[in-house]
Amino acid sequence: MKTRCFFAAVVLACGFGLPLQAVRADMPLANPWSFELLPTSRPLATPVSAEEETELFRVHCSTIVGWYDAEHFLQLKNGRLLKVAVLTGKSEPVYDQAYLTAMLEVLAEKRRDDKGFGPIADPQKGKGGGGPGSPDGKWTAVVRGGNLVITNKETKEEKKLTHDGSDIVLNGKTDWVYEEELYGRGNKQVYWWSPDSKHIAFLRLDDTNVPVFTILDNTQRSQTPERWRYPKSGQKNPTVKLGIVNIADGKLNWADLAGFPEDLLISRVGWLPDSKSVYAYFQDRPQTWLDFGTVSLEGGQPKILFRDKTKAWTQDMGKVNFLGNGDFIYFSERSGYKHLYRYTPDGKLKNAVTSGDWDARSLQKIDEEAGLVYFSGTKDGWLDSQAYKVKLDGTGMERITKGDGTHEVVFSPDAKFFVTRIAASARRRVSRCTVMTAHLCD
C-alpha cells in the first residue's frame, strides 16, 4: 500500500525569514528538498492554484513553539500566539485563558533538552512533576532555608514538610555537585510530585563533609570572594538520601540505602504511573554501574530491578517511558551503542527495540495504539540524524524523514504529525539554513 506524507515547511536562510512552499512528500525522492522560494506577499493559507498541484499552503517565517492539539501547531507571530491547522494552514489567535496560563508556566520552567526545541512534554531530571506546582493544580512548592515548603493555592496555607534544612543540608534542592555534575547547570529542583498529587519524593543533600573552596568573582569591578562546598578528586561528596513525604499528614519515609557505597550517587528520580512507587537510578561515584530500583511509599530498602553496565562510563541515559501494561522503555549503551530496550514491570528484559552499530539518539514518541516507537538516530549515517519508526517488538523499522541533514523532530500528541527542524548535511555543504516541517502520514 502506497504511503503519502504531506508536509508544510518554513525556511530560515542565514537569519532572514523566507517563506517556502508546502509540498507533498510523494514527489520523487532523488531530490526531495529542492524547493522554489515564493514571494513574501502571499498571505498565510493562500488557496492553491491548479498549477501548484504539489502545494498545500504557504506560511510566513515565524517561531513554531509546539503543539496546541493533535491537529494544530502553535506559532508566535508578530507578538501573537496563533494556532495553525496543519492540513490547511488556517490560523487563528489563541484566546483560551486557561491554556495560555498553563503554557506560560511550562515556558517559565522550560529548558532545552535532547529534543532541541518545542515544549517540554515530560519532566526531565530536576524539573519534576510539571514544575513547582502539583499536577492537580492545588499546591505550589518551594525550598526555603533548605526545607521543602508547600502552599495551598486556594487557602494560602503553608506546610513545612522538612525541618532540618540549613545552608549545608538541602531538602529538594541541589548543591554544587548535584547541579553541576548530575542534574545540569540551572536545575536546582530535586523534588518530584506524584501523579496523583498526594506525595512528593525528594533528595536530601548533606554537605557537612564537603570541603570549602574559595573563589573570586572576577565579573565584578570590585572582586568579592565566594565560598563553595566543592570536592576535589578524592575528597568527600555530599551524602544523599531519598525521601517520600505525604502532603496530607506530613509523614516522611526514607529509602534504606545502607546496602550502597557511602559515596552513592542518585542520578535520576521519577514516579511510576500508579503513584505507588518511586524509581531511581543509583550509581557508584566513578559511575561504572547503574542500578535501576524502585522504592515504595513506605520507604525501606529499594527493589533493584536490574544493573546496567558498559565497558566504560555508565551515564544516566534519560527518563523511563512507561507503557499502559506496566512495561517500560529504557535507553542503554551496554552494547557499545545507544539503544532502546523494553522491560517488563518486574525488570526482566523483553526485547531490544533498536539494535545495530549506530545510535538511537532520542525517543520522540510512543504510539501504543499502533504499537510503534518513534525515535531519532544515526542508522543511515553518523553525520546525520534521521527520524524512524519501529514496532515495540523491534521489527519493521522504517525511516520517516527525507533528505540529508540533522532532523530535530517534535510530534503531535497523537503521533500523526511532527514538526522538524533540518540542518544541512556536513557531507554536502556548510549551511545556516534551518527548515521546519509538519508531516502527516496515512
Higher-pLDDT residue of 234, 106: 234
- Asked whether 419 and 438 are in contact (CB, 8 A), the reply is yes
**What are the boundaries of each domain within the chain?**
126-318
What is the DSSP annotation of 195-251?
Answer: TTSSEEEEEEEE-TTSPEEEEEETTSSS-EEEEEE-PPTTSPPPEEEEEEEETTT--
- Asked whether 420 and 401 are in contact (CB, 8 A), the reply is yes
Q: What is the DSSP letter of 48?
A: P
Q: What is the DSSP letter of 424?
A: P
Q: Give the mean pLDDT of 156-165.
A: 95
50 pLDDT exceeds 60? no
Helix/strand/coil (H/E/C) assignment for every residue in 292-304: EEEEECCEEEEEE
Nearest Cα to Cα of residue 204 among 251, 157, 253, 159: 253
Edge-first strand listing for the sheet containing 91-93: 63-69, 72-77, 80-85, 91-93
417 pLDDT exceeds 70? yes
Q: Give the mean pLDDT of 104-132.
A: 43
CA dihedral 422, 428, 429, 431 (to 10 degrees): -10
* Percentage with pLDDT > 90 across the chain: 55
Task: Give the CATH superfamily of 126-318.
Answer: Dipeptidylpeptidase IV, N-terminal domain (2.140.10.30)
Q: What is the DSSP letter of 94?
A: -
How deeply is 151 buried, as exposed, middle or buried, from its count of CB atoms within 10 A (0-12, 13-18, 19+)?
middle
Alpha-carbon span 340 to 361, nearest angstrom: 9
- Asked whether 184 and 111 are in contact (CB, 8 A), the reply is yes
Higher-pLDDT residue of 264, 40: 264
Least confident of 52-61, 187-196, 367-376: 52-61
